[in-house]
Chain A
């Protein structure tokens, strides 16, 4: 029993994330309310869409407080995907200004790589990660992952463990104690993506060994 819970807050599809874990033999359940987080051994926060709408949805479902209690206080292993990486920062300027969960210091800003780089940053890019980064065990340096985003976590953010290059370096992943997050979509990055998800699942198991 993996005990991994995928948070549903109305932002895009979580089926792909659940399917990817299922392909690894890791069964996850879905939670759309604080009660669903009870007993979670690991929490995954996926997400696609606008930051402001996402935070509104989290607050409306009282998930913001419940997630913070579980992840910061009870130190439940956490994995944020795409928007899920951005939401744990301090704030974002997407469509106005919105506060994030504030678990890691950092700001979310629009990507401006300059010509000739179109935005959004969409497609497969190489990720360089620092050695020892938990999510990238058994992943080859420079492995490709799928990105699709117009906003990014600023370079001064804490906990960055990986970057990709698109005109200049951008944060691709971070790790801070029990908190992990990736800007790319591991559930859409074929085998490399599955390796990242496997590493998170192993960490969840190790925390409860």
Chain B
């Protein structure tokens, strides 16, 4: 059966991978290609690289650099406003193009991109803020301009225009590690019959489980994966233990391991640790 996807988001600002808080504060993490390599090595299912506050779309050389060591699907977004940009990004090595502001300003681009490369190449990402009365409003231009539209409405429009997937992101939850905006996710998932990717607010693997329970096909996180060794494997193993169908292919898979309240590995007994010193893991040559 098809598994739920765990997706790593790498936000890039001025060529640096950054941590984002509320779409306002950006703190440097390091080189994007290093983040990509680690995510891939730890068995991430897919990687989304987003250029924030981009003057224009990423150039071919940059995209090729991201794709070079990425053995999982790569989606690239940020500043994509015309078909030429979609073409360059895909032909440079991306598998999918992510459209955000363009979904409002150039909605025809969704259809054009889908007809050029197929709907499965088009991801429309929607950033949302909570409004009074429990409603949400979609924002574009990295959270600076309100659209007056509900994310669910925008998602349905995008799907009818040819989008293959929706990435639903919460601006309020971004970077505060309090969990995803579950009402946002439920609303968007109910509005479309294409896959929805949850994003924004992960602080603990339990948050990911709750997000998947809203009907999303995948769960994405940016900041969350950057700070802990094997973070991807920690998440996947805990999701698997909670009964979610996920793929765990990496050699390090933490099967049978216990986790502490903060979602990290619980320490094993000294005897078990001792035995690990003599475990031989031959490197596989494919």
Contacts and interface: CB of A to CB of B under 8 A. Distances in A.
A93 interface: no
Interface in A3-58: 11-13, 15-16, 19-20, 23-24, 48-50, 53
Contact of A49 (B69, B70, B121): B121
A191 B286 contact: yes
Interface string A141-164: 000101111100000000000001
A122 B195 contact: yes
Interface in A153-209: 164-166, 185, 187-195, 198
B120 A122 contact: yes
Interface residues of B, number: 42
B93 interface: yes
Contacts of A15: 64, 67, 92-93
Contacts of B64: 15
Contacts of A97: none
Given A16-B93, A118-B194, A150 B5 contact: no
Interface residues of A, number: 46
Contact of A124 (B45, B70, B119): B45
A121 B67 contact: no
Contact of A190 (B5, B94, B249): B249
B43 A124 contact: no
B3 interface: yes
Given A185-B95, A190-B72, 20 more contacts: A13-B67, A13-B94, A15-B64, A19-B67, A19-B69, A23-B71, A24-B286, A50-B118, A83-B118, A117-B2, A123-B3, A123-B4, A123-B45, A123-B217, A146-B46, A148-B95, A148-B120, A148-B164, A194-B71, A198-B286
Q: Which 7 A-B pairs have the closest CB atoms?
A: A120-B120, A124-B247, A148-B120, A144-B247, A49-B117, A194-B286, A125-B2
Interface of B: 1-5, 40, 43, 45-46, 64, 67-73, 90-95, 115-121, 164-165, 192-195, 217-218, 247, 249, 284, 286
25 contacts: A12-B117, A13-B94, A13-B95, A15-B64, A15-B67, A15-B92, A15-B93, A48-B90, A48-B121, A49-B121, A121-B2, A122-B164, A122-B165, A123-B46, A125-B2, A126-B1, A164-B2, A188-B95, A189-B71, A190-B40, A190-B249, A191-B71, A191-B286, A192-B249, A193-B71
